[in-house]
Amino acid sequence: MGKQKSKFLRGKRIDPAPIEKNIAVADLIDESFLAYNAARLREACQLFTLKMLEPEVTVGLSLTGALTPAGLGISALIPLIKAGFVDWIISTGANLYHDTHFGIGLAMHQGNAQTSDIVLREEEVVRIYDIFFDYSVLLDTDAFFRKIIEGPEFQRPMSTAEFHYLCGRYVHEREQKLGIKEKSLLAVAYEYAVPIYTSSPGDSSIGMNVAAKALQGNKLAFDPSLDVNETAAIVLAAKRGEVKSGARRQRGRSAVFILGGGSPKNFLLQTEPQIQEVLGIDERGHDFFLQVTDARPDTGGLSGATPGEAVSWGKVDPDRLPDAVVCYVDSTVALPLITAYALTRHEPREPKRLYEKREQFMSLLLAEYKKSKRR
């Protein structure tokens, strides 16, 4: 009787077909990304496409790093929203500020990162590594935001989701006047009612311009408590199966798709501790965890913190750890590939239009909190 085969040798045999010149991106990932971080990227594509995009799953996305100035808002994020693959977003303010350049017709250019910054300064050229743009792009975008926030609808405290929704409407109108189609993430999120939050609204040029207008008596103010509670309400409604309608439905699930780390990552994940730890509502954590990062876990920074560590905080359901993937690669490499894979392998989903359901979700959160012993 021969030796029994080890259970550890049940994985698919590594024997890929040679890559051909016309291979599709999704086929390349499935057939050739077999080990190391390539395998993690394949697992990320498959987790996102085969599990996170099921109808009952609500997908939250966090954005850090200068992704929109690199054109990834146009090439990847907007197609994901249009396909119904992203339901709500937490972003740095910088990504939304630089996204606006495209929506109001301003130009960003490819450049050489080795160019002297002293020379660039003399030429009034600003750079984000190897992205170059004229200094006037900043001034014109600043002027755009200062002008729109003078409007009467902005003269009150509000969540950052409401602020970005109102801004998105103006960017959408500017696109239409300029004959520009779907260049701004803010504008498309407005059109598809995808709420966008910013965890640190003062930490960007948008926040700086809001602060400048406050010196002139402008009444716009961001309410961080609304942001914390609204995002928690979205997750609770997702888990209770109330995202698609107000009626009781089968239990839903929540997925987090994290590009980078930083404050947006924590703000996305802290929704579950807010529900469980602070509000005392019975919950288990997010169901699916997908992160693209270049940060190491051993330095103690949140950007590199693993899904296993998140379990200890109640951020991730411990029973769902097999549905957690961390892909150690640059987001500018991973995001286009994940997007192409998902669009190839999955039919579009009906947009959930969560922005329009915020009051309904907040009512659910408040009703469950009233039954809690933490009050």
| Count of beta carbons in the 10 Å neighbourhood of residue 323 | 19
For the question of residue 181 being annotated catalytic, the response is no
Joined together, the tokens standing for residue 267 give 């703000």
Alpha carbons 288 and 281: distance in angstroms, whole number: 20
Which amino acid is it at 21? K
Q: For residue 366, tell me if it sits in a domain.
A: yes
Helix (H, G, I), strand (E, B) or coil at 333: helix
92 alpha carbon, distance to own chain's centre = 9
Q: For residue 16, tell me if it sits in a domain.
A: no
Alpha carbons 53 and 49: distance in angstroms, whole number: 6
Q: For residue 375, tell me if it sits in a domain.
A: no
What does the pLDDT profile of the chain (375 residues) look like in tens digits? 567 889 888 888 999 999 999 999 999 999 999 999 999 999 999 999 999 999 999 999 999 999 999 999 999 999 999 999 999 999 999 999 999 999 999 999 999 999 999 999 999 999 999 999 999 999 999 999 999 999 999 999 999 999 999 999 999 999 999 999 999 999 999 999 999 999 999 999 999 999 999 999 999 999 999 999 999 999 999 999 988 644 445 789 999 999 998 899 999 999 999 999 999 999 988 999 999 988 777 777 667 666 666 666 666 666 666 778 989 999 999 999 999 999 999 999 999 999 999 999 999 999 999 998 877
Q: Output the pLDDT for position 314.
A: 66
Q: For residue 4, tell me if it sits in a domain.
A: no
Q: Output the pLDDT for position 323.
A: 75
User: How many domains are contained in the chain?
Assistant: 1
* Residue 223: burial class (beta carbons within 10 Å; 0-12, 13-18, 19+): middle
Instruction: Name the residue range of residue 224's domain.
Output: 24-370
Q: For residue 211, tell me if it sits in a domain.
A: yes
Give the Å distances, CA to CA, from 149 to 141, 156, 176, 319, 351: 13, 11, 20, 46, 28
Q: For residue 1, tell me if it sits in a domain.
A: no
pTM of the model: 0.93
Q: For residue 2, tell me if it sits in a domain.
A: no
Q: For residue 14, tell me if it sits in a domain.
A: no
Residue 135: give its domain's CATH number.
3.40.910.10
Residue tagged active-site, from 239, 315, 352, 357: 315
User: Quick one: which of 375, 353, 340 has its CA closest to 49?
Assistant: 340
Q: Output the pLDDT for position 246.
A: 43
Alpha carbons 221 and 250: distance in angstroms, whole number: 38
User: Quick one: which of 300, 85, 199 has its CA closest to 76?
Assistant: 85
